[in-house]
DNA sequence: CGGACGATTGACCTGGTTCAAAAGCGGTGG
DNA sequence: CCACCGCTTTTGAACCAGGTCAATCGTCCG
């Protein structure tokens, strides 16, 4: 899923399946496993996002279907992947890197609705056009699957549709949390919520202190939180003065006092 | 779906199905139709929301399943239906009336994430607890279905899961539009967007002029748009002075100049 | 070393909030 | 039928959180 400041990350997709998705029907075992040596099978089998996103809904025996339907792409940073309003012909699974998803107003104002990382699926569309623009913020690898291939995959493997429902539900919940953040919270509360959410989904430093990695420019964080970069900068300074965080570098922050952040969030 | 200022309403669910949902598998025709005279069948058959929400995914022959699984409830206004955080044991389809869905911060601030009207399904949960509180704003009728019954229904009728995915996708898109509204737009733009969205989904007056019905108090509209009721009142006055709208009564507004609203939204 | 771009800081401004009061507007009961 | 009461809506005036504008500072790269 694309992350939100309040999403509880890792186990969320599984949890969603447990609650609104029917128990997975026993997937018919196919005979493709004997062809496991095929390069096309091997590609998905060795994929780092294998267990995530849509692909996690499939068993090893289904990998040939998956490999045949999808194609990996390596992208530099600042590369658009889908454009808001364009005809939605494919979906993309993020294998590595980070993308930003945003909507644009006619006068150019932009609102980032989420950031996508490994395992997230982007480009699912309601209607014919993409609902948002997706663009890499770091060099990334994504896996392209045409819309028709996705439909065929869902027909052959009902679990894929269930997974898609689970993922969409998690996204919806995250979007509602973001609505709460944007509608109610102060700048300080927004930044604290954001840092806490990131720290939950990222690994602590060697010494065990929680930390967050912010590969995107500050202006993008601002566009996500509904704040100007100047405001973001001022709030981060206040948090640092209060001893809640330390700026290790421009793109890494150490959380010194999670409780203090929790209190202001 | 619960509505958002930018959702294109009526045909949206069907459109979503066309794009991310596989073509409906030919539903096995059952023999229950011969028992159509049963009272339990008749209840759903005569339901005004019959063709909407989850129920629209089922054919007439499946109505006994539906009737057996669900139970209608008449509710007064200001009645809570589901509470944020409580264990999610059931879902509810709105048959008539209007509900507000909101999230609450520890200090009491509330953000309304949407209003639900006939056909909308509320209470779909990610995890074990409801993600929001739902409360009637007018006297309403809702139809209760336990979560286990919903799971059984999805197992027996795959089209129900497809419909659920389509509805969730439409909700997600609406939520992202609301994020754009709350993150970027001015008070004037928010109110204009809101009125336009409502006018698209409501019937014009007898003389053909578009109008909107606002059964909820102004404070709720404000909580939805991220504004105080005072600000809302001032913006409405400005729109009226500009000749874009006319206040017919406290809960009804006539849109005099949709183009003017479009321009400010 | 120089130039470009992102991040930061300061000073000022403003849209929207807050606080307070008045005005509508149903309902209720005499 | 009207007087009263409680609540929502509206209006006014002062305030402030965050935005805007402009200058400075890093830092990364060629």
Mutation target among B168, B183, B232 for the A interface, most CBs of A within 10 A: B183
CA of A227 to C1' of D23 (A): 21
pLDDT at A15: 42
Instruction: Tell me: pLDDT of A100 over 60.
Output: yes
For residue B186, give how far its alpha carbon lies from the nearest alpha carbon of chain A (Å): 12
Q: Cβ B12–A180 below 8 Å, yes or no?
A: no
Instruction: Tell me: pLDDT of A33 over 60.
Output: no
> Quick one: fold of A9-182?
Jelly Rolls (2.60.120)
* Local structure of B66: helix, strand or coil: helix
B169 chain-A contacts, CB cut-off 8 A: 124, 126, 168
pLDDT in tens, B127-159: 889 999 999 999 999 999 999 999 999 999 989
Nearest to A117 by CA among A88, A86, A147, A138: A138
pLDDT in tens, B43-61: 888 888 999 989 999 988 8
pLDDT in tens, B92-132: 999 999 999 999 999 999 999 999 999 999 999 888 899 99
- Which segments of A48-123 does DSSP mark as H helices, in order? 63-69
Residue where the block lists tokens 């739902």: B134
Of B158, B164, B184, the CB nearest to A105: B184
Give yes or no for B176 touching A (CB within 8 A).
Answer: yes
B165 chain-A contacts, CB cut-off 8 A: 161, 164-165, 168
A173 chain-B contacts, CB cut-off 8 A: 126, 131
Cβ of B233 < 7 Å from strand D?
A: yes
Q: Which residue has the higher pLDDT, B29 or A20?
A: A20
Give ranges for CATH 1.10.10.10 in chain B. 185-264
CATH of domain A185-264: 1.10.10.10
DSSP assignment of B59-128 equals -GGGHHHHHHHEEEEEE-TT-EEE-TTSB--EEEEEEES-EEEEEE-TTS-EEEEEEE-TT-EE---SSS
Give yes or no for A27 touching B (CB within 8 A).
Answer: no
Q: Cβ B172–A176 below 8 Å, yes or no?
A: no
For residue B181, give how far its alpha carbon lies from the nearest alpha carbon of chain A (Å): 9
pLDDT at A170: 96
pLDDT at A202: 87
Q: Is the dihedral of CA A62, A74, A3, A195 positive or negative?
A: positive
Instruction: Tell me: pLDDT of A156 over 70.
Output: yes
A167 chain-B contacts, CB cut-off 8 A: none
- Could you say which residues from 61 to 80 on chain A have a Cβ atom under 8 Å away from some Cβ of chain B? none
Which nucleotides of strand D are protein-proximal, with an atom < 7 A from a CB?
8-13, 17-22, 27-28
Instruction: Tell me: pLDDT of B167 over 90.
Output: yes
Q: Cβ A103–B176 below 8 Å, yes or no?
A: yes
DSSP assignment of A20-65 equals HSPPPP-PPP-SGGGGTTSHHHHHHHT-TTTTSTGGGGS-GGGHHH
- Name the nucleotide with the smallest C1'–CA separation from B230: D10
Instruction: Tell me: pLDDT of B18 over 70.
Output: no
Cβ of B249 < 7 Å from strand D?
A: no
Which nucleotides of strand C are protein-proximal, with an atom < 7 A from a CB?
6-11, 15-20, 25-26
Mean pLDDT of A57-65: 90
Q: Which residue has the higher pLDDT, B15 or A128?
A: A128
Angle between helix axes A218-225 and A229-241 (nearest 10 degrees) is: 100
Percent of chain A whose pLDDT exceeds 90: 71
Give ranges for CATH 2.60.120.10 in chain A. 9-182
* Local structure of B210: helix, strand or coil: coil
Mean pLDDT, chain A, rounded, equals 87
């Amino acid at each position: 899923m694309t992350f939100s400041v309040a999403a509880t990350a890792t186990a969320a997709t599984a949890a969603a399946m447990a609650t609104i998705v029917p128990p997975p029907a026993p997937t018919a075992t196919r005979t493709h496993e004997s062809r496991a040596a095929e390069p096309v099978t091997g590609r998905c089998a060795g994929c780092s996002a294998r267990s995530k996103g849509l692909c996690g809904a499939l068993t090893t025996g289904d990998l040939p279907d998956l490999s045949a339907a999808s194609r990996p792409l390596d992208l530099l940073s600042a590369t658009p992947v889908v454009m808001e309003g364009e005809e939605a012909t494919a979906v993309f699974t993020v294998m590595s890197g980070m993308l930003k998803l945003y909507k644009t107003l006619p006068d150019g104002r932009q609102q980032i609705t989420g950031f996508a990382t490994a395992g997230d699926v982007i480009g699912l569309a309601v209607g014919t056009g993409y609902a948002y623009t997706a663009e890499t913020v770091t060099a990334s690898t994504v896996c392209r699957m045409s819309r028709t291939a996705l439909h065929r995959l869902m027909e052959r493997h009902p679990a894929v549709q269930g997974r898609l429902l689970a993922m969409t539900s998690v996204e919806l919940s995250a979007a509602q949390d973001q609505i709460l953040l944007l509608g109610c919270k102060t700048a300080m509360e927004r930044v604290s919520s954001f840092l806490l959410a990131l720290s939950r989904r990222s690994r602590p430093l060697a010494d065990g202190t929680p930390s967050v990695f912010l590969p995107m420019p500050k202006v993008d964080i601002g566009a996500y939180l509904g704040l100007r970069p100047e405001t973001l900068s001022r709030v981060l300074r206040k948090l640092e003065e209060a001893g809640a965080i330390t700026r290790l570098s421009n793109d890494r922050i150490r959380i010194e006092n999670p409780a203090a952040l929790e209190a202001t969030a």
